A and B are shown apart, each in its own frame.
Chain A
Amino acid sequence: MSRRRALLGYVGARLALVPVMLWLIATLVFLLLRVAPGDPIDALLGSRAPEAAREALRQKLGLDQSLLAQYGGFLSQLLRANLGTSLSSEEPVTRIIRESLPASLELGAVALLLAAILGLAVGFSGIARAEGRVDLAGRLFGIGTYALPPFWAAMVMQLVFAVALGWLPVGGRFPPTLQPPSGSGFYLLDSLRHGNGAQLLATLRHLLLPATTLGVLLSGIFTNALRLNLRRALASDYVEAARGRGLSERRVVLRHALPNALLPVLTIAGITVASLIGGALLIEVTFSWPGIAFRLQEAIAQRDYPVVQGIVVVVAALVVLISVAVDVLVALLDPRIRF
């Protein structure tokens, strides 16, 4: 079987598993929400509403049905790509996700880009002299940023750059004094598409603090991964062979060691995307960023079952698809991988 056909088979098998994984995740979320203490009726009406009013609302929202009936309804809606309506606002969940997901993706993408640039630069900087001062500083940076509590780092950034210095806004995604750019929900792209400089600058001003905070926090993973893999690659036989052929150290590092060291980093980047959702929650709450993690936290507090289920399923689908894409990319780039 040719490598191309094998790769197609591999991709097909991975994609075929996606619906099964999503069903498992959706079922787990559905059950966990029902098992968890707390009642959406309390969140909506308060605990002192008369029993008749509570019962009427319970019936209206379909919460009086058996667990099996609720689960059947949920799955049947899910199969028709209908995520239901929010219990608290009665908005369609798809609309809530459509409005908040671009905010999270924009923040995550910029943060990931910053994390990759910063992390790889720091990881690479110490390579000239192992265990030297630069290398040690890079190690400390990698461990420090990885260990830093996100909420604390975010609050310090907010207090220094927004409150004390007043350089950047304390939070939010866009200033109230301007009309947000219309279109896809990705403000950077939309403002560029409209060619509106004021909107673009306003977007960047609001994005800078949360994206930098998240980027710095994630960069340590890249730093450590690159440092370790590059060191291993530099000690390998093929690098010694390259040196033996009289190639310059610069060429040995850039053409031979670095590409091999970057492959595991690519895998780590895929995993990082998944961890972005958890890490972004604290960042989104601290910077009042109206993203999907922020909406998820609100929905959990209100026991808004359809919103929690919808967000988890969509995020899970994204994570699964990204991880498949990363696996395929690594398989394409690394000839050693067998399918």
Chain B
Amino acid sequence: MRPGPLLRGPLAAAALALGLALAGCQPSKPPGTLIVATKSRIVSLDPAKASRIGEQQLLSALGDPLYAISAEGQIEPRLAAALPQLSPDGLRARIPLRRSVRFHDGTPFNAAALEFSLRRFLAIGTLSYQLSDRVSSLRALDSHTLELTLKRPFSPLPRLLSSIVLTPVSPTAYRAHRDKPLADRFVGTGPYRLAFFGGQQLRLAPFRDYWGPRPANNGLMLISYSNSTALFGALRGGEVDVLLSNSLELDHQRALHRLAEAGRLKEAVGPPLEIGFLSLLTSEPPLNDPRLRQALAHSLDRRLIQERVSLGLRPPLRSLVPPVLPGADPTAWAAYDPARARTLLRAAGWCQGRVLTLPLTFRSDIPSDRLFALTWQAQLRRDLSDCLQLQPEGMESTTAYSQLDKGAFTMILLDWLGDYPDAENYLTPMLGCGKADGSRCLEGGSVLSGSFWTAPGIDSELLRSSELAGEPRLALLRRVQRRAGDGVPYLPLWVVTPVAWAQPRLRAPRFDGSGRVVLSALQAGGAQP
């Protein structure tokens, strides 16, 4: 019943040979090309449909925005030749465009092409409201000038136009897709053209006629892995050259950070623009009592959370605006002070034999959320066990999002990454309120974020901030934050720093001011520039 001795030897030898062949034959890549791994699977290459971070990262290599934000946070014209020229009433913006720019199909980029692209985005764009909320009409004034008519003065317009989803596409290539998406092709103006699109794998080749500096590499191969262990293993095993963190698990991030400290990897960090926060339901008991919300603000030991939950990788946050952005007030929310929290809880009628139990909803599909809930629960047990206790409850994120505006959660852990890096793009989505009944918001960002909080004049202050520029605008934005910090409709927790790693033979990756890795700057060898 078993193979005879004559067969056993050749069978074993054949199996060994096959095993060695399979293990040893790793295909080589063309010199100068780099393999970049991410967690995001690219579903669509159409900028009108690019709502995920991974897709936007890819588009930043294939396309160009009108304006870019430098690593230092400065606005730089890219396809625009200069900053917008505003009419005296601030309602018309003329954008001069760069000349001698070509699309990947060889056709010229001009105002008509930009008008086509923006109209297409307005018609079918998933995030079209970003533009349609601000712009009432647009037209090409001449071959290289586009005019936007705004619904009201909007000073952060260049920052809005730095959004990569507004990157122009070739009207010739998209003629048949004027009002429908084109998922598997992209014809734009960026430093790379698309050489191959296979869903899980993409190949980008340098665009010979690019108007700007040529990429520092001979092309990129992008591959997506669906889980953190695979991404971590691919970098450690040398299968990939560069790893973009996206949603890499925190223990993997820490392990890679340690390898970078030991000189076995290159690490780069970008501007921390994603915030984690708790949304508090201010329209219903018990958190309609501002003293309780203030007590919660004082009860949170962010340093402990940083150490235990994010393994030291997510800096604590006491503002709704990431501190790297102009107009942020890093101390707008109260600091950790358990004694003050106890006083406030007592004043609200708790602690004297009465323990307030608060449900805390966390997204069960995000590991750090659960860890936060359990850590804060334990911290409150340590500090305020006679006054306050938490009742963590997990819920799948898509289910939770659909119930936010229904006031379903007393406290829920959420995150937010602005569509473009500007303080207004953090405050309006959280505090905006178009219709209110006293301090209860009935319509607007505050409802959509699940807090239902507003205060007299705060919405008009937000609107006015968009009409101001310079220091007066920043001062007004800081004032709005301090008012929110007093009202405590949210508890800011941390900011998430984007990280990328590269093999030691490569230069460390570089981030732009929008938090994306500059893929065209990835380069083999040499010291840091």
- Chain A residues within 8 Å of B, Cβ to Cβ: 36-39, 42-53, 57, 88-91, 99, 124-125, 128, 155, 158-159, 162-163, 166-180, 198, 201-202, 204-205, 208, 250, 253, 284-288, 290, 294, 298, 301-303
Contact = CB atoms under 8 A, between A and B. Distances in A.
Nearest to B45: A89
Interface stretch (B9-17, B218-226, B518-526): B218-226
10 contacts: A37-B403, A39-B402, A49-B127, A49-B129, A89-B183, A166-B237, A170-B229, A171-B227, A171-B230, A298-B41
B22 A90 contact: no
A47 to B, nearest CB: 4
A180 B197 CA distance: 11
Q: Which 6 A-B pairs have CB atoms at the shortest separation, nearest pair first?
A: A163-B233, A176-B221, A53-B129, A167-B23, A47-B401, A38-B398
Nearest to B402: A39
Given A51-B443, A253-B1, A290-B199, 18 more contacts: A38-B399, A47-B404, A48-B416, A48-B448, A49-B129, A53-B129, A53-B132, A90-B44, A125-B1, A163-B233, A166-B237, A175-B27, A176-B203, A176-B222, A202-B27, A286-B226, A286-B229, A301-B398
Nearest to B52: A88
B414 to A, nearest CB: 8
A256 to B, nearest CB: 15
Given A53-B129, A176-B203, A288-B227, A169 B239 contact: yes
Contacts of A99: 199
B49 A171 contact: no
Given A47-B401, A176-B223, A205-B25, A170 B237 contact: yes
B401 A163 contact: no
Nearest to A178: B27
Contacts of A36: 399
Given A163-B236, A163-B237, A166-B237, A52 B129 contact: yes
B398 A302 contact: yes
A234 to B, nearest CB: 14
A172 B128 contact: no
Nearest to A284: B226
A300 to B, nearest CB: 9
Given A89-B43, A288-B227, A180 B198 contact: yes
B200 A288 contact: yes
A117 to B, nearest CB: 13
A53 B145 CA distance: 29
Interface in B441-458: 443, 445, 448-449
Interface string B419-451: 000000000010000000000000101001100
B10 to A, nearest CB: 18
Q: Which of B25, B180, B237, B405 has the most CB of A within 10 A?
A: B237
B5 interface: no
A98 B310 CA distance: 41
A44 to B, nearest CB: 6
Given A48-B445, A208-B22, A172 B398 contact: no
Given A178-B27, A208-B22, A172 B200 contact: yes
Contacts of B449: 47-48
A52 B448 CA distance: 13
B22 A201 contact: yes
Contacts of A124: 1
Contacts of A298: 41
Contact of A159 (B25, B129, B229, B234): B229
A37 to B, nearest CB: 4
Interface string B388-425: 00000000101101111100000000001000000000
Contact of B230 (A44, A50, A286): A286
B398 A42 contact: yes
Contacts of B201: 172, 174, 176, 180
A162 B398 contact: no
B29 interface: yes
B205 to A, nearest CB: 13
Contacts of A173: 200
Given A45-B126, A177-B28, A202-B27, A155 B398 contact: no
Contacts of A198: 25, 27
B193 to A, nearest CB: 17
B35 interface: yes
A176 B405 CA distance: 43
Contact of B181 (A90, A286, A287): A90
Contacts of B28: 177
